[in-house]
Amino acid sequence: MGEPYPKVTAHDLTRAFGRGTRAVDALGPLDLTVAPGEFVCLVGPSGCGKSTLLRIAAGLLRPSTGTLEIRTLSARPAAMIFQDYGIYDWKTVQANVRFGLDVQRVPRREADARAADWLARTGLADFAHAYPATLSGGMRQRVAIARALAVEPELLLMDEPFAALDAQLRTILQDELLEITQALRTTPLFITHSLEEAIVLGDRVLVMSARPGRIIAEHRPPFPRPRTGDVRAAPEFTALKSELWDLLRKEAVPA
């Protein structure tokens, strides 16, 4: 029943910005294969090319060399969630969540029902007619999650979606994201600079080097699915975190 092909395949992928002496090598060379349904987390120091990679995956940016291929079965392959929410302040919460459905031309009744469902699942039902500016950071990020998931994307691209939130809220939203993604058929690609976040969420955690970002380590957190935030208390969690931190620390401090 499973799809036989990888959802994402990158080969020798690189990206540079600018030309000549001013050229900046931002990413790669990088190889990546993501299986359907697999939750992959990429963690790396600031400026290592994480957003560049995600923008290439989203089709917003071209590789300089190499390839990144996304294999999807439907017309609406990917949805993105950014750290700065990426929601429309001039639309109500409900209109934001409906946005992708309207773009997809989902019939009105069905779109209403799906939007209402996602508002309920993300704790936003009472805020359907509010404008995002009146909401807290956590609620705004829930709007972004609801909007992305309402379109039932095959690929869910997330670029440090919780980076702007305080630690407690971040933990809560991580747990909610775990629950939601485990109940869905989607393939999440999640970028973060938080090791803890990557270990809680990921089937696989890929550690990136400093710019130009390459993959320097790969780990599979040994926690079965369905998983909850309780894994944070496991001894394996702490062990993996310090193992990965040893790697990341070397990359985070410029030589």
Q: Which residues bind ligand ADP (CB under 6 A)?
A: 17-18, 24, 26, 44, 46-52, 211
**Burial (0-12, 13-18, 19+ Cβ within 10 Å), 116:** middle
Q: What tokens were used for 247?
A: 């790697």
Residue 192 as a binder of Mg ion (CB under 5 A): the answer is no
Q: Which does 132 bind (CB under 5 to 8 A by kind): Mg ion, ligand ADP, none?
A: none
In the complex, the smallest distance separating the C-beta of residue 94 from ligand ADP, rounded to whole angstroms, is 31
Residue among 50 and 98 whose Cβ is closer to ligand ADP: 50
Which one of 13, 36, 39, 51 is in contact with Mg ion (CB under 5 A)? 51
b (16+ CB within 10 A) / e for 173-184:
bbbbbbebbeee
Q: Which stretch binds Mg ion (CB under 5 A): 9-17, 31-39, 46-54, 118-126?
A: 46-54
Is the CB of residue 101 less than 8 Å from the CB of residue 112?
Answer: no
Contact (CB, 8 A) for 44 and 193: yes
Residue facing Mg ion at closest CB distance: 51
* CB of residue 215 to ligand ADP, shortest distance in Å: 13
Least spacing, CB of residue 74 vs ligand ADP, in Å? 28
Name the strands in the sheet holding 24-34, side by side, starting at the edge strand that comes first in the sequence: 24-34, 8-17, 65-70
User: Smaller CB distance to ligand ADP: residue 18 or 226?
Assistant: 18
**3-class secondary-structure state, position 7:** coil
